[in-house]
Amino acid sequence: MKYMNEQDAISGKYAKAFVILNDNVEELFYAKSLESSIEKSKSDVPVLGKTNVGKKAAGWSGTGTLTIYYITSLFRQLMLEYVKHGRDFYFDLQVVNEDPASSAGKQTILLKNCNIDGVVAAKFDATSEDQLDEEISFTFDGFDILDSFNSPRG
């Protein structure tokens, strides 16, 4: 029986993330977490002689959530440009997972043509002892794996 080496589990604390916008690259060193998902769209395919309704993949959509510390105006400035002038903005997000203690190696994912759903315009909380953060939801329409993890060894 094979077992996973516990040291190969990936720590998210070693991740890096970058926003690529208009040929400028900004490291998201102020990010707390990111999760993106791809969901297939399926259409119904009724088949004569079957009582169930089959499904066939008909496309996909990408969504994500980025949580950052409330210490940058970048996304608010981009949204202000949209609000005042109607110019929407798209960017790529590159996420690198590489835990030096793991033999899994490195995985680099590129989320293409990300578009923010909304931003926090202003925020404060005088009752909290936690640092201010903000959650930014987004969509994306492209996806690449630039580096893949090594195959797990048992």
- Does the pLDDT value for residue 1 go beyond 90? no
Residue 108 included in any domain:
yes
Structure tokens at 132: 């201010």
CATH code for the domain of 27: 2.30.110.40
User: Does residue 26 sit within a domain?
Assistant: yes
pLDDT of residue 151: 87
Q: Examine residue 61 and state whether it is found in any structural domain, yes or no.
A: yes
Non-local (6+) Cβ contacts of 116 within 8 A are 75, 78, 79, 89, 136, 137, 138
pLDDT in tens, 123-150: 999 999 999 999 999 999 999 999 999 9
Q: Give the CA count within 13 Å in the CB-facing half-sphere of 153.
A: 7
Domain that holds residue 137: 9-41+56-147
* Assigned domain for 47 exists: no
pLDDT tens digits along 60-106: 999 999 999 999 999 999 999 999 999 999 999 999 999 999 999 99
Indicate the pTM of the whole model.
0.91
> pLDDT value at position 153?
77
- Total domains in the fold of the chain: 1
Residue 136 included in any domain:
yes
- The mean pLDDT of the chain is 95
Inside any domain, residue 101: yes
